Structure 1
Amino acid sequence: MVMSSDNVKGLVLAVSSSIFIGSSFIIKKKGLMKAGTTGTRAGSGGHSYLYEPWWWAGMITMIVGEIANFAAYAFAPAILVTPLGALSIIFSSVLAHFILKEKLHIFGMLGCVLCVVGSTTIVLHAPHERDIESVKQVWTLATEPGFLVYAAIVVVMVLVLIFYYVPRNGRTHMIVYIGICSLMGSLTVMCVKAVSIALKLTFEGNNQFKFFQAWFFTIVVIVCCILQINYLNKALDTFNTAVVSPVYYVMFTSLTILASMIMFKDWDSQNGSQIATELCGFVTILSGTFLLHKTKDMGSTPAAAAVPVTELVRQYSSNCIRDSSKHSDRHGSPDRNCRE
């Protein structure tokens, strides 16, 4: 299948975005770790990371990646751009292996390969971007009943997670923090796409910011991004980076594709074969992230046989000495088992 020039531009921008965002997870994690040694951890509600240069370096790297991602949505459909976020998982997992010493084992490497294969499949069969000549067209799509229902459900679920589940289960169940980020992320991407289209048309000479719709989408993007950054910091500081990245990716991508299908109707111009191929590519990516998740601790716990023999002898001898009074025979000598 021949890709359009706009899809190629979106592809290049999306890949660049994944490199920067994948690296930012590691840099921010180092900043959060350093900040946690001198102040209240972000997972406990602290904000000492705001004084840590490493965290700001990671934040700047993430902003660069998000700008590239932002631009990608102006040229390519969300169903092409969003799944390429799998590449950021590969970069963050590999860097976590070497820098943070969060081990990436053979099945994790296989997971990375599956992510690449799935992403390639989606890229080769992605639909073309629909022609949009005004931000008002995006507003019409966003105010259709189907998407309004989806947006209302997302807002209600986020509020329930923030006010009920975060105080009770936030530090023990990663899905709470990631759920907030992913749900809000799906709405953010739809608004980001609207703003990026408005900017693209404006740069072409057709000013879109004279319409209130462009400013409304911009405000929603800012609010949602602040909310996501806050809870993503909590997730990164509380849980293993090698787990946060893939789980966040799976939930975020799934919900974003769902939102895009409802709002932009990306699959209307494709046949069943193309849709099935894209779904297979997405399932392949999910399989890769599942492997990364399930093998994160493989080999991290030493086997019992790996305990030095001298340590076992020392422990056994000390137990015998401690309990000799309890296990002595009638002549007052230590128990036969200990002597042997």
Structure 2
Amino acid sequence: MTQSRPHTGTLWRSILASYLLKEKLNILGKLGCLLSCAGSVVLIIHSPKSESVATPAELEEKLTNPVFVGYLCLVLLMLLLLIFWVAPAHGPTNIMVYISICSLLGSFTVPSTKGIGLAAQDIFRNNPSSRRALGLCLALLAVLGCSVIVQFRYINRALECFDSSVFGAIYYVVFTTLVLLASAVLFREWTDVGLVDFLGMACGFTTVSVGIVLIQVFKEFNFNLGDVNKSNTKTD
């Protein structure tokens, strides 16, 4: 599979941030973190398997496929709109703006790293196509480097405006989802998806959506598990 593996440490970082960094994360926020990470794990488990790509030439063919080129143009257009029009006006007040920018850029990391690895193998083996592989490797390194630099910039901006616990959970989910989508478009993975996997991905996406709603909608509510226990005691 080409997707990034689930990083369960995100959940614990989000919860520990509420204690170590004194950030407010109520019981529903913690439940939202758990649901979001669990849903993204389900998405990855049921995600389709990718076609085998063993040479830089095969990867280059997939990168120039009209479907992927169209997807790439759409992503670049969305990034331009978000960076130059939406972010200056709404970035400091809407957490999804910075998350969308970082996640859209991050979706290129998996294809880029895979391509760099394949190209490096050809270069070190001194194959006849090593010069072409070197060009592909340099191009992908440039894409990866620019993506990482811009991501760091907007991650820092987001952490200045929003709680790291909320940002970490939502960013992990959106990033994972977009990586799955980009890999599926590039490696044409959706042709072999069965009914069970489709239902699993639908359930995973629904769980993720519920988790994000819990984190976002109830983040301003100031209550915890102790308040719930007191309320039940009074009722009894």
Q: TM-score range by the shorter chain?
A: 0.7 to 0.9
Whether 1:231 aligns to 2:140 is: no
Q: What residue ranges of structure 2 are gaps of 5+ in the alignment?
A: 224-236
Distance 1:209 1:290 in 2: 49
Query: Counterparts of 1:157 and 1:107 in 2: how far apart (Å)?
Result: 32
Following the alignment from structure 1 to structure 2, what is the Cα–Cα distance between the partners of residues 105 and 203?
A: 52
Identity of aligned residues (%): 33
Work out whether residues 77 and 129 of structure 1, in 8 Å CA contact, stay in contact via their aligned partners in 2: yes
Is residue 250–residue 286 contact of structure 1 (8 Å, CA) maintained in 2?
no
Query: Equivalents in 2 of 1:170, 1:115: separation in Å?
Result: 22
Identify which of 14, 19, 25 aligns with 1:104.
25
Equivalent residue number for residue 18 of structure 1: none
Report the RMSD for the aligned CA atoms in angstroms: 2.9
Q: Which residue identity does 1:142 align to in structure 2?
A: L
The whole-number CA distance in structure 2 between the counterparts of 1:226 and 1:150 is 22
Structure 1 residue 246 corresponds to structure 2 residue 169: yes
Greater relative contact order (CA < 8 Å, ≥ 6 in sequence): 2
Pick which of 129-138 and 201-210 moved more.
201-210
Query: What displacement does 1:236 show?
Result: 0.8
Residue 116 of structure 1: CA displacement? 4.9
1:1-340 pair list within 5 angstroms: 76-78=1-3, 81=4, 84-85=6-7, 87-199=8-120, 201=121, 210=131, 211=133, 212-299=135-222
Q: Which residue of 2 aligns with 1:52?
A: none
Cα deviations by residue, 1:181-220 (Å, 9 ceiling, x for unpaired): 1222223333233224445x45995868641222211111
Deviations 1:110-137 (A, max 9, x none): 3344245434534543444432210221
C-alpha displacement at 1:260, in angstroms?
A: 1.8
Q: TM-score, normalised by structure 2?
A: 0.79
CA contact (8 A) 2:100 2:174 kept: yes
Give the conservation status (yes or no) of the 8 Å contact 1:246–1:293.
Answer: no
Q: Does the CA contact (< 8 Å) of 2:50 and 2:184 recur in 1?
A: no
Q: Structure 1, residues 55-89: CA drift from partner, whole Å, max 9, x if none?
A: xxxxxxxxxxxxxxxxxxxxx322xx26x24x243
Distance 1:170 1:233 in 2: 12
Q: Which amino acid aligns with 2:31?
A: L
Who is 2:232 aligned against?
Answer: none
1:278 partner letter: M
5+ long unaligned stretches in structure 1: 1-75, 301-340
Contact 1:114/1:284, CA 8 A, preserved across alignment: yes
**How many Å separate the matches in 2 of 1:278 and 1:285?**
10
Q: Is the 8 A contact 2:40 2:176 kept in 1?
A: no
Shift of residue 141, structure 1, vs aligned partner: 0.9
Secondary structure of 2:108's counterpart equals helix
Aligned residues: 222
TM-superposed CA distance for 1:143, in Å, is 0.9
Cα distance in 1 for partners of 2:150, 2:48 equals 31
Equivalent residue letter for 1:259: A
